[in-house]
Structure formats: C-alpha cells, structure tokens
Amino acid sequence: MTKPSIPQLIRRVAEHALRSADTLLPEWLPEGTRQGREWVARNIVRGDRRAGSFGVSLDSGRWNDFADDSAHGGDLVSLLAYLQGSGQLEAAQAIDQRLALDVFGTTGGATALPRENEAERLAREAYQREQRERLEQRHRAVAAEASRLWEMARPADPHHPYLQAKDVVPYNLRQLRGGRLLVPLCLDGHLLNLQFIDSQGAKRFLSGGRVKGAYSPLGRVEGSGRLFVCEGWATGATLHAHTGCPVVCAMNAGNLKAVAIAMRARHGEAVELVIAGDDDRLSMGNPGRSAANRAALAADGLVVYPEWPTSAPLELSDFNDLHLWQTRKYKEH
C-alpha cells in the first residue's frame, strides 16, 4: 500500500479542519463574528483595527483580505500558517494535534512523515516552478500598471482628507483625479505596486501585485545613520517628520521582517536599523509587537514602541496615533 504524500496529508487535515471551522475560527480569530456562511474578523497579522475586509468561508475554507491582495488562501491550513507565520506543514500538524486526528501519527510522540519518491519530487518541483513563473509574470504586469498610474497621477493635495486626518504632509505621494492617494511600493529603486487610500482611509493594493518585501520609502539613506522600518505610511510620515531620519514603510505587520532583512542586506552594518513597531494592546497576542520583535531579531536591529502616557486610550497603537492624541491634548489646554 502506497503511503500518502505530505501534500495529501495536509489536504486531509484541511478537510477535517473545515468540518471543525465553527470551533477553530473563534479560537484563531476570537474577535470575529459569523455573518451568514462567513467568519468576518480583523486581520491580526497586519494589526487591523476593525472587521470588514478579512473573511473566511465556512463552506470552502477560502479566506481573503480585501485590503491586502497578498493575503489569501484556499483552506484553513493555509489560514493558520498565515496567522502564525509558519509553513503549511507546521500548521497542519498543529491542527492535527488540536483536533486529535492522528493524521501524522503523532500519538506515539514522534511524527512519521512519508518520504517522497523521485517521481513525486520531480512533479512537485515542476509544479513549484510553474507557479513561480506565473506569479512573476503577474507581478511584472502589475508593476507596469503601477508605473502607468503613477505617471498619470499628480502630486498629492496637502489638504486631502486622509492627510488632514493623520496630520501629515504628502511627501512623495501622488493622487488620481478621483481623489485616491497613491502610495508607491518599491524594491531596489523599482516601483512594484501601489497602495490606494481614499478620503475615508480605506486602503487596497493593486490586485495580484507584489507586496512581500516591498516598501514605501521616505527620505534617503546617506551612507550611514539611523533607518526606521515601520508598518503603515502615516506612521512612517510621522516618524520622518519628528526625527528627520529616513523611514521605509512595510505597509503591514506581516511584511516587517522581510523588509527589515532587505534593508540590512542593502545597507549592511553602516546603518542603525530601528524597527518602530505598533503596539496593538487590545489585540490578542499583540501582533504589532510580535511582528516587530521578530523583524528586529532577524535583521539584527533595535526595536522601539510608542511610550504611552497613563491617560492614553488603549485603542491607540502606533506613533501616528500618539502624535494625534498628544496634539489634541495640547490644543485642549
């Protein structure tokens, strides 16, 4: 009898997980709610502050974040891997243990995984190459569209409602005729994607474009000195205004580590790399702090967080929040 392959075992766990979705999803995303046949929650990976864009189908297990086109998957194994920043095998094993399935044969204390034969290995590698080629082709097409939109846009209006709400200047942002702001996502000086921000602060990326490892720069690194890495663009604009130091914005918590590693590789030890983390005090596990700590450790950098006065509301989480709150307190007095 042929032993099942690792992908087959993962799929088997995913099937069991879907049947237990009503149990697992409240554990993984405890602040979510059931809306019809979907579990709608905040995306804890990027420190989402309100539910609405992140949903998981209770019928198929498919999940998607409409505010982050790189965040999507086809089953609950890939969802857990995304949430905990692990590989799908590790996620499948965690679900296997949680549901006491014994798919991986862990009751004896050791995990017995089947070995791939040569044909299976070659087939897997060929499939992975095909997927990479398709992804790279899609990334190139989106990068071309990003360049086209960037060229046709005009410099951002300093009185744009989002910029006014965040009390920041536009720096290098541009704006489309319809009023949406364009935030550039770059890598090694090349424009790869755009983040759109409307007047209400709703955000999305160009669908199918690269986000992982890309960043939005503010200021220029001049050989040495301090370089901040943060999550959102408004946070980066606040840091740049208050410190004068260059900043790169990773756009979400899940991208902090990749961007920090890229900055260390590009600038070496000449820069003092500082991860300016979000402090998601009301979110289970504080995903902002967790992501910032992982990024600092991986890139041999420092990490800082907002220093909250005792009277600061708990829903504040990043440096822009702190700036806005302190500004209001100053005006009140």
Phi, then psi, of 15 in degrees rounded to 5: -65, -45
pLDDT (0 to 100) of residue 246: 97
Residue linked to tokens 């960043």: 215
- Residue 117 CB neighbour total at 10 angstroms: 12
> What sign has the CA pseudo-torsion 307, 300, 234, 73?
negative
- Quick check: 193 and 143 in contact, CB under 8 A? yes
**What percentage of the chain carries pLDDT values higher than 70?**
92
Length of the chain: 333
CA dist list (Å): 148 to 37, 182, 183, 271? 39, 12, 14, 33
Checking if the pLDDT of 107 tops 60, the result is no
**CATH architecture observed for domain 212-333:** 3-Layer(aba) Sandwich (3.40)
CA 268: distance to chain centroid? 24
Q: Which of 49-63, 149-163, 195-209 has the highest mean pLDDT?
A: 149-163
pLDDT (0 to 100) of residue 73: 87
Among 57-71, 148-162, 312-326, whose mean pLDDT is lowest?
Answer: 57-71
CA dist list (Å): 155 to 144, 173, 239? 20, 6, 21
Q: In what order do the strands lie in the sheet with 181-187?
A: 154-155, 174-175, 181-187, 190-197, 203-205
CA 12: distance to chain centroid? 28
Q: Three-class SS string for 143-182?
A: HHHHHHHHHHCEECCCCCHHHHHHCCCCCCCEECCCCCEE
pLDDT (0 to 100) of residue 46: 65
Q: Which of 39-48, 113-122, 228-237 has the highest mean pLDDT?
A: 228-237
CA dist list (Å): 158 to 171, 173, 180? 9, 10, 13
Checking if the pLDDT of 191 tops 80, the result is yes
Nearest to 173, CA basis, from 313, 159, 187, 274: 159
SS3 assignment, position 57: strand
Q: Look at 234 and 189; give whichever has higher pLDDT.
A: 234
Among 47-56, 98-107, 207-216, whose mean pLDDT is lowest?
Answer: 47-56
160-169 tens-digit pLDDT: 999 999 999 9
Global pTM exceeds 0.85: no
Among 4-18, 108-122, 162-176, 226-240, whose mean pLDDT is lowest?
Answer: 108-122
Mean pLDDT of the chain: 87
Nearest to 41, CA basis, from 51, 30, 56, 53: 51
For residues 126-133, give the mean pLDDT: 78
Distance of alpha carbon 153 from alpha carbon 299, whole angstroms? 35
CATH class of 6-115: alpha beta
pLDDT (0 to 100) of residue 47: 60
80-92 tens-digit pLDDT: 888 877 788 888 9
- Quick check: 287 and 253 in contact, CB under 8 A? yes
For residues 202-216, give the mean pLDDT: 86
